[in-house]
Amino acid sequence: MKYMLGLFVLIFFVAFNLNVYAKSQGQEFIPMKQIQDKVHSFKLENGMRFVVMERGDSPVVSFVTFVKVGSVDEVTGHTGIAHILEHMAFKGTKDIGTKDYKKEKSLLKQVDQAYREFLYCKYSGTDKSRCQSLENRFHKLLTEANSLVIPNEFSKIIEKNGGEDLNAATSTDYTIYHVSLPANKVELWFSLEYDRLTNPVFREFYTEKEVIREERRMRVDTSPMGKLLERFRSICFLAHPYSHPTIGWDSDIRATTISDVKRFYKTYYVPQNITIAIVGDVDFKEIKRLALTYFGHMKKGKNPPIVWTIEPPQDSKRDITVFANAQPMYIRGYHVPGYGSKDFLVLEVLETILSGGRSSRLYKDLVLEKRVALSIAAFNGYPGVRYPCIFGIYAIPNKGVSLNTLSQAIDMEFEKIEKKGVQEEEIERACTLEKGELLRELESNLGMARELAYAQAIYGDWKRIFLDIDEMEKISPKDIQLVIKKYFINSNMIEARLLNKHEKENNTGN
Amino acid sequence: MKRILVMIVLCTVIGCGFSGAGPKKYTELEFKKQIPWPRYKISTTYMENGVRFFLIEDHELPLIKVDIEVKGGRFLVPKGKEGLEYILAQMLRLGGCDKYPGDRLDLFLEDRAAEFSIDFDFINGSIEVDTLKNDFTTIMPVIIDVLSSPIFTRDKLELAKQRLKTIISRRNDRQDEVGIREFKRLIYGRDSIYGRIPTYESVDNITLKDVGWLYKRIFVGSNLLVGVVGDFNTREIEPVLKKWFSVFNKGEEIRFKFPKVTSPQGKRYIIDTQDTNQAFVVLGHLGDYRLNPDFAALQVMNLILSGGFSGRLFENIRTQMGLAYSVFGNFGCKRFYPGVFFVALKTKNQSVYQAIVAVKKQLKDLKYNGCTEKEVEDAKDQFLNSLVFRYDSPKKVLERRLYYELRDMPDDSFDKLINEIRNIHAKDVDRVAKKYLNVQGLDILVVGDKSKLDELNKIGKFDNWHLD
């Protein structure tokens, strides 16, 4: 990922590059045992899981709340709802952010009702003047409700207490909230997080949706890369909800109401679907006590629904072209299995062999030798890993190089691997690199908390961060060759091209 | 419903066997005094050839990081050769040294999970090396070799030029990148030393001789500040470092002298990006100097205006008006030349005018009506309570020290700032807001679809700003 231009907005779409593994070979340079000894995990009776790491010389602590719900859990008509909920989680509670909750509560009900009436009128499209008056009524109620709000009070409390890294992100597979606090403020986090998980109030909802629509314009509509990725993703999956844009389609964002989000929150924000990771200058016993004192009171809910849809096998190559006011870019992908399949870790190693570092195959060949690309990156597990997903390759051509030349150069590299395989030492190097990356991740409390929460919630056990290393050690050049033969075939491929619309006419080599 | 909830809560409490230890509201909490953060000790040593070392031990993980800050950067590049500092950085990294030419260097490093990067900014360059503890003495001599006897070949020059030309061809693809860059050029002057950017022509003009010249001017002992942090023993490592760095000649230290900035006032420009449904808007004017005695008050003003989720801009433009996802700003102060004051946001075409009016209103409000004592207290709390994060790793402490050292500032500059901020009151913020914010003189740059932004006429005429 390092050699991309930084315009690859994975931050939002995949949230963080959490798929970090380390592989031990040769000298043991990660003090695995020591690290594992500092991690403790426990589960409350209601199913909420905690992973705690006692660490560090500095009196600071990072907190991650990881909810296993993302855009893959959304249904048509309500794409973007997981992300809307993430924004709403900063709007306060019954106690925080309001001048008069009782009054506000009834007003919010009316606001939502008024919006729904306006929406139905608009979609039925008959009586324009009635729609207008419904819209006016909605705005009037909205202004009234907003007048009772103390804006951003929740965030202000945290910032006033010295909180840093206050933010959240939504991805296909999950929603994550994080903050770091001075070590003497641990209980402040418990109190606030408990309050917002159990008593959230979705105030300023309709104003915030406008903010989110601006976010969409920023990340997708006016971002060449964002647009290309959205289109790419939507043709990768005909049936499976991995096709949903995490930010949501604009019409869906507009049509979502407070009661929709409430329902979504009640369905997915149940304790057994939440993992908390805490890393820093803490005492495990004290954390356990606080966890019981606060989250022990959360009621276990029903298990969240299952995603039933299975993507039917792709039988022929797909492609899409996007024209924009920008220079060309290229993405291709192949359907591959998600986490839990035995091929998953092989593909992770392949990703690094292809583009991890300057001595990787694609970087060396396309960037340094053939000089057709400014940057290139392979990415496994797109847009998530909970279900079968995509192994992608993304490339920016050098000036004057056509996308066909670029894609042929990629083809040639795959042919080479298919025929001759990879060297044992490439696998070793890939593992060394991954291991170094993991070691550096350990330097930050927040980074470590994200890793632990992700591994616990998505892989089922935080220890997988380390256990998978053993699995990866066993991978042979033959395994790599087999996955290439199995998945990297023409009929399993999806291509997306971004072309400059002004050069459309004379761009024959698309 | 409410009653049922209460019952469940009670049951759980009883079930868990806790007597009365239920969840507390945040207002009911009392906190222990903040634990003082560890003060990491920095050892400094100066060599006769001018190289300065700053070392901090950190034994938590088996890693060693080196951050070499070099004086000299983009400001040294002669007119007509723009892009030279980028080419130099690329060639040092691509070319390697005699024993380890480019591709072998990459293998050598990656087999050891080591990282090595070179970057130049306006006044300085940064060379970062990150190695596993056990490889440090194997890797560093090679890095020193690259930095002291690099190989500059015609072939790598061509590669570096090709890459830079590709970057030039793509630099106008994103509104925010365009907006930030061109607003700086608008403030400092597009052809001034601060505003010049590479063009295809300037890249073509760059020769191997130019690269060699810039390299020689920068890479001398007097310009090198070497920071090392990680799992080592200072007494053991110091003589080794000295031996390695003795290959550099003392040379002539680069002096930071910059031309005066003359900035336009009240100018309005537009950059037309067709078919976009959102525009990027920047408003601002020239900022000030870091050594200005009002710096501390300006920092508090920055927090009140645009600090995180608590700032006025975020609260008004985003939370209350819903006009933007992204709104940010800063009153910038630089050490050797004035910084830039700006507010930037992205908003849909239909609300560009409304957003500009709203930002101006916020600035006027701060300038003429000032702020409340509570706002100042909250901003100070935010700054002072989060101080621990400025010290939470030896690496951050080292970075700050190098930052001050490079700029010839005393090493207690940050502690001084903290004390000054403690003593700031509303009247101080009011005074600097009045003195430094110039609402009438704001320059405005809009990057957006001109055909859909007719409403801007209400503000006045917007001239076209052309892109290089």
Cβ(B64)–Cβ(B134) under 8 Å?
Answer: no
| Window 171-210 of A, Cβ < 8 Å to B | 180, 182-185, 187-188, 190-192, 194-195, 204, 207-210
Give the gap in angstroms from C-alpha B27 to the nearest C-alpha of chain A.
9
Interface of A with B in 366-395 (CB under 8 A): 368, 371, 374
Model confidence at B102, pLDDT cuts 50, 70, 90, reads: confident
Nearest chain A residue (CA) to B169: A399
Query: Structure tokens of B272?
Result: 């037309």
| CA–CA dist A70, A86 (Å, integer) | 10
Tell me the pLDDT tens digit for each residue of A61-111: 999 999 999 999 999 999 999 999 999 999 999 999 999 999 999 999 999
Do A319 and A293 share a domain, yes or no?
no
Report chain B residues whose CB lies below 8 A from the CB of A359. Answer: 103, 106-107, 110
A264 and A412 part of one domain: no
pLDDT given for residue A510 in this prediction:
41
Give kind and range of the element (H or E) at residue A191: helix A186-198
Say if the Cβ atoms of A293 and B174 lie within 8 Å. no
Do A297 and B321 lie within an 8 Å CB cutoff?
Answer: no
Q: Which two tokens stand for residue A10?
A: 């994975």
Concatenated DSSP letters for B48-107?
TTS-EEEEEE--SSSEEEEEEEEE--GGGSPTT-TTHHHHHHHHHHHHB-SSSBHHHHHH
Whether A82 and A153 map to the same domain: the answer is: yes
The interface predicted TM-score of the complex, written ipTM, equals 0.91
In a domain, A27, yes or no: no
Per the CB < 8 Å rule, is B173 touching A357?
no
Determine contact, residues B353/B456, Cβ cutoff 8 Å. Answer: yes
Helices A205-216 and A101-124: crossing angle, nearest 10°?
50
Question: Which residues, 6+ apart, have CB-to-CB distance to B234 below 8 Å?
Answer: B43, B55, B57
Using CA of residue B432, residue B434, residue B439, residue B442, what is the dihedral sign? negative
Place of tokens 């340094």: A368
pLDDT at B9: 37
Confidence check: pLDDT of A509 > 60: no
Higher pLDDT, A251 or B393: A251
Q: Is the pLDDT of residue A344 over 50?
A: yes
* pLDDT for A128 beyond 50: yes
Residue B400 tokens read as 């700050």
Cα nearest neighbour of B21 on chain A: A293
Measured CA to CA, the distance from residue B355 to residue B244 in angstroms comes to 56
Residue A1 counted as domain residue: no
Boundary-marking domain end, from A265, A297, A329: A297
A340 and A398 fall within a common domain: yes
Residue B52 confidence (pLDDT): 98
Q: The tokens 């306060």 sit on which residue?
A: A92
Query: Hey, what domains does chain B have and what are their CATH numbers?
Result: 43-245 (3.30.830.10), 268-464 (3.30.830.10)
Neighbouring CB atoms inside 10 A of B107's CB total 17
DSSP class of B29: -
User: What are the C-alpha distances in Å from B276 to residues A375, B349, B353?
Assistant: 26, 8, 16
CB pairs under 8 A between A and B: 238
Taking a C-beta distance cutoff of 8 angstroms, is the pair A177, A65 a contact? yes
Lowest mean pLDDT among A53-57, A180-184, B285-289: A53-57
Q: Is residue A210 assigned to a domain? A: yes
Distance of CA A214 to the CA centre of its chain: 19
Candidates B139, B207, B205, B404; CA nearest to B290 is B404
Q: Is the pLDDT of residue A15 over 80?
A: no
Q: How far apart are CA A362 and CA A375, in angstroms?
A: 9
A378 and A285 inside one domain: no
Task: Say which residues have a Cβ less than 8 Å from residue A461's Cβ, sequence separation at least 6.
Answer: A455, A467
Select from A188, A221, A297 the Cβ nearest to the Cβ of B12.
Answer: A297
State both tokens at A246. Answer: 């995490």
d(CA A7, CA A223): 9
pLDDT at A25: 36
Which ranges of B197-294 does DSSP label H, i.e. alpha helix? 200-205, 208-218, 234-245
Task: Provide long-range contacts, Cβ within 8 A and 24+ apart, for B196-202.
Answer: B196/B79, B196/B82, B197/B82, B197/B468, B198/B82, B198/B83, B198/B86, B198/B164, B198/B168, B199/B82, B199/B168, B199/B468, B200/B165, B200/B168, B202/B80, B202/B81, B202/B82, B202/B83
**Same domain? A263 vs A177:** yes
Where residue A421 falls (left for φ over 0; alpha for ψ -120 to 50; beta otherwise) is left
**Judgement on whether residues A194 and A326 belong to the same structural domain of the protein:** no
Chain A residues near residue B175 by CB distance under 8 angstroms: 222
Short-list A453, A474, A476, A475, CA closest to A465: A453
User: Could you say which residues from 389 to 448 on chain A have a Cβ atom under 8 Å away from some Cβ of chain B?
Assistant: 396-399, 429, 432-433, 435-437, 439-440, 442-443
Any CB–CB contact under 8 A between B59 and chain A? no
Pairwise CA distance, residues A362 & A446, whole Å: 31
Tell me the three state secondary structure of residue B116: strand
Does one domain contain both A285 and A321?
no
Point out the domain boundary residue: A264, A297, A330: A297
User: Final residue of a domain: which of A266, A297, A328?
Assistant: A297
Query: Average pLDDT of chain A?
Result: 91
CA A322, A324, A328, A333 dihedral sign is: negative
Residue carrying structure tokens 């470092």 = B241
Residue B11 above 50 pLDDT? no
In angstroms, the separation between the Cα of residue A491 and the nearest Cα of chain B is 32
The yes-or-no verdict on residue A288 having pLDDT over 60 is yes
**pLDDT higher than threshold 80 for residue A404:** yes
Residues 6 or more apart in contact with residue A377 via CB below 8 angstroms: A1, A3, A4, A8, A355, A393, A394, A395
Å between B430 CA and nearest CA of chain A = 21
- pLDDT exceeds 80 at position A497: yes
Residue B461, number of CB atoms within 10 A of its CB = 8
CB contact under 8 A, A224 and B324: no
Task: Say if A406 falls within a structural domain.
Answer: yes
How would DSSP label each residue in B136-179?
A: HHHHHHHHHHHHHS----HHHHHHHHHHHHHHHHHTTS-HHHHH
Number of domains within chain A: 2
Assigned token pair, A57: 């010389």
Reported as a single tens digit per residue, the pLDDT across A413-453 is: 999 999 999 999 999 999 888 888 888 888 899 999 999 99
Please state the rounded mean pLDDT for residues A231-248: 97
CA distance A387 to chain B (A): 31
The two tokens of residue A183 are 């070590």
Residues on chain B touching A213 (C-beta within 8 angstroms)? 348
Say how far apart CA B298 and CA B160 lie, in whole Å.
Answer: 41
CB contact under 8 A, A156 and B16: no
Structure tokens at B4: 């049922």
Q: Above 80 in pLDDT, residue B446?
A: yes
Tell me, what's the pLDDT at A28?
59
B34 part of contact set with chain A, CB < 8 Å: yes
Task: List Cβ neighbours of A8 (8 Å cut-off, separation of 6 or more).
Answer: A1, A225, A377, A394
- Give yes or no: residues A142 and A261 share one domain: yes
How far is the alpha carbon of B179 from chain A, nearest alpha carbon, in Å?
13
B139 CB neighbours in chain A (<8 A) are none
Residue A441 in tokens: 């991740």
Give the pLDDT band (50/70/90) at residue A196: very high
> Range of A428's domain?
310-503
pLDDT band at A30 (very low <50, low <70, confident <90, very high): low
Distances (CA, A) of A12 to A66, A172, A176, A288: 15, 9, 11, 32
Residue at A23 is within a domain: no
Q: What is the pLDDT of residue A442?
A: 84
A317 and A257 in a common domain: no
A444 and A383 co-located in one domain: yes
Q: Which of B13, B18, B310 sits opposite A156 (nearest CB)?
A: B310
Whole-number pLDDT of residue A24 = 33
CB atoms within 10 A of CB B60: 16
Average pLDDT of the segment spanning B412-429: 95
Residue pair B56/B40 in contact by the 8 Å Cβ criterion: yes
* CATH number of the domain encompassing residue A379: 3.30.830.10
Is the CB of B278 less than 8 angstroms away from the CB of A223?
no
Identify which of B263, B262, B299 has the alpha carbon closest to the alpha carbon of residue B433. Answer: B299
* CA–CA gap between residue B166 and residue B431 (Å, rounded): 47
Confidence class of residue B39 from pLDDT cuts 50, 70 and 90?
confident
DSSP A30: S
How far apart CA A11 and CA A347 sit, in angstroms, is: 21
* Mutation choice for B interface testing from A44, A358, A428 by most B CBs within 10 A: A358
Is A60 part of the contact surface with chain B (CB cutoff 8 Å)? Answer: yes
Q: Does the structure show a pLDDT above 70 at A14?
A: no
Q: How many CB atoms lie within 10 A of CB B298?
A: 25
Specify if A181 maps to a domain.
Answer: yes
Q: What tokens were used for B229?
A: 């942090």
Which residues of B are less than 8 Å from A214 in CB distance?
Answer: 278, 322-326, 346-348
Q: Give bridge partners of residue A393 from the DSSP assignment.
A: A332, A378
CB contact under 8 A, B166 and A29: no
Q: State the pLDDT confidence band at B5, using cuts at 50, 70 and 90.
A: very low
Structure tokens at B406: 């490079």
Higher pLDDT, A5 or A160: A160
Pairing of strands B333-334, B288-289: parallel
CB distance B63–A443 less than 8 Å? yes
Is residue A355 in some structural domain?
A: yes
Which residue on chain A is closest to B6 by alpha carbon?
A297
Which of A57, A190, A223 shows the shortest C-beta gap to B174? A223
Pick A222's closest partner by Cβ from B277, B385, B392.
Answer: B277
Percent of chain B predicted with pLDDT > 90? 89
Whether A294 has its CB under 8 Å from any CB of chain B: the answer is yes
* pLDDT score, position B40: 86
- Looking at the complex, report in whole angstroms how far the Cα of residue B204 sits from the nearest Cα belonging to chain A: 14
Contact (Cβ atoms closer than 8 angstroms) between residue B442 and residue B174 = no
Backbone Cα Rg of chain B: 26
* pLDDT on residue A444: 92
Bridge-based pairing of strands B268-272 and B443-448 is parallel
Same domain, A254 and A188: yes
The predicted model gives B248-276 an average pLDDT of 95
Q: Is A15 among the domain residues?
A: no
- Within 8 A of B348 by CB-CB distance, chain A residues are 213-214, 217
